[in-house]
Amino acid sequence: MHFLTTAKLSRDELNQLIDSAQRFEHGDGQSKPLAGRSVALVFFNPSLRTRASMQVGIYELGGNAVALEPGGTSWTLEHRESAVMDTDKTEHVAEFVRVLGRYCVAIGVRTFAALKNWEEERTDPILNAFAKYSDVPIINLESAMHHPCQAMADMMTIREKLGEGRKKVLLTWAWHPRPLPMAVPNSFALAAAQMGHELVIAHPKGYDLDEALMEEIRGQEARAGGSVSLTNDVDEAFAGAEVVYAKSWGSKDFYGEPEKDIAERARYRDKWIVDEPKMARTNSAIFMHCLPVRRNVIVTDAVIDSSSSVVIDEAENRLHVQKAILARLLKQ
């Protein structure tokens, strides 16, 4: 009923979602499954693409979007079970989602990692509280651990640009001045594994993804007939890649201690950037990033402004794929 990660979808189901998204893109999917219905969009964090593409997509499906920001345009929210709410939280998710469910046919929620407590945040507590209490489908618009709408747009973009079938896909860490959440690389790696791509994950030592997620990725890769390999060698990683997907993320070793992570990563500043010399080692790879991106930090102007860069088409695909996700969830 919910759309929290791509993990439970088969490769056929992922491809069907992309087929549906392409029908929306080409104007063939003109049905209005949301006619006369509303969808709530709950944002604990800022957004450009997710918010705008969801609002536009809901409108194009005939519906109405209700955007809420807890602590801003709606009350501050508690999510912990049995919490004694005698501090700053005014409303519990238990009431919040069930009330919204009386007005809306689905609820999208964005709730980033706070980057404070790894063991807690890796369980996606706020997203799971929404899913637990909700009577209507919950759509993950980026949680602490996953960004499945982004991953689906990414898989759609790879298929559109390079055709169907297995591709050599590089997910590369990049230097950024401060630690960032892991939701995008987690969901990209998972979906690439599910699609059966030949996935290389490159990051400096100490920047490993979650171990349980890596087990899931390896299992998915084996089932889909792809492969996954890890490297700490950024130059070797680019060799022969057909897709270069750049993203920065924080180290679990320094979770909740950003100053230590910042000190650790300082040595990687000039080395872990996507630039022309690295792209020249690829097999004419396309360059992808979820955006927003820091130019000349994550990627040079020369690469992001080149004909290899597909970041704007990738962002456009958020709209088409989210319409496909909404249509799929709401026809059940």
Choose between 79 and 110: whose C-beta lies nearer to ligand CP: 110
**Given 9, 169, 274, 290, the residue binding ligand CP (CB under 6 A):** 290
Check residue 314 for interaction with ligand CP (CB under 6 A): no
Which residues does 85 contact at the CB level (< 8 Å), separation at least 6? 78, 92
The residue sitting closest to ligand CP, measured at its beta carbon, is 50
Q: How far apart are CA 244 and CA 159, in angstroms?
A: 14
Stretch that binds ligand CP, among 13-21, 44-52, 129-137, 259-267 (CB under 6 A): 44-52
Size of the site for ligand CP (CB under 6 A): 9
Q: How far apart are CA 158 and CA 304, in angstroms?
A: 16
Q: 3-class DSSP state for residue 208?
A: coil
Q: Minimum distance between the CB of residue 80 and ligand CP, rounded to whole angstroms?
A: 26
Q: Minimum distance between the CB of residue 142 and ligand CP, rounded to whole angstroms?
A: 6
Choose between 68 and 234: whose C-beta lies nearer to ligand CP: 68
Check residue 50 for interaction with ligand CP (CB under 6 A): yes
Choose between 224 and 274: whose C-beta lies nearer to ligand CP: 274
Helix, strand, coil % (nearest 5) of the chain?
Answer: 40, 15, 40
Please say whether the beta carbons of 38 and 64 come within 8 A: yes
Choose between 239 and 291: whose C-beta lies nearer to ligand CP: 291
Q: Which secondary-structure segment (H or E) carries 278?
A: helix 276-279
Choose between 48 and 222: whose C-beta lies nearer to ligand CP: 48
CA atoms in the 13 A half-sphere facing the CB of 14 = 30
DSSP for residue 81: T
Q: How far apart are CA 77 and CA 62, in angstroms?
A: 30
Check residue 20 for interaction with ligand CP (CB under 6 A): no
Q: How far apart are CA 232 and CA 207, in angstroms?
A: 9
Check residue 150 for interaction with ligand CP (CB under 6 A): yes
Q: How far apart are CA 309 and CA 302, in angstroms?
A: 10
Q: Minimum distance between the CB of residue 267 and ligand CP, rounded to whole angstroms?
A: 28
Q: How far apart are CA 236 and CA 238, in angstroms?
A: 6
**Given 291, 293, 297, 330, the residue binding ligand CP (CB under 6 A):** 291
Check residue 49 for interaction with ligand CP (CB under 6 A): yes
Q: Minimum distance between the CB of residue 254 and ligand CP, rounded to whole angstroms?
A: 23
Choose between 11 and 49: whose C-beta lies nearer to ligand CP: 49
Cα-Cα-Cα-Cα torsion 251, 253, 259, 262, nearest 10 degrees, comes to: -40
Q: Minimum distance between the CB of residue 318 and ligand CP, rounded to whole angstroms?
A: 7
Q: Minimum distance between the CB of residue 148 and ligand CP, rounded to whole angstroms?
A: 11
Q: How far apart are CA 324 and CA 318, in angstroms?
A: 10
Check residue 262 for interaction with ligand CP (CB under 6 A): no
Q: 3-class DSSP state for residue 41?
A: strand
Choose between 52 and 230: whose C-beta lies nearer to ligand CP: 52
Please say whether the beta carbons of 146 and 177 come within 8 A: no
Please say whether the beta carbons of 159 and 30 come within 8 A: no
Q: Which residue has the tokens 């996953």?
A: 146
Check residue 142 for interaction with ligand CP (CB under 6 A): yes
Stretch that binds ligand CP, among 41-49, 81-89, 208-216, 260-268 (CB under 6 A): 41-49
Q: Minimum distance between the CB of residue 110 and ligand CP, rounded to whole angstroms?
A: 7
| Interface residue list for ligand CP (CB under 6 A) | 47-50, 142, 150, 290-292
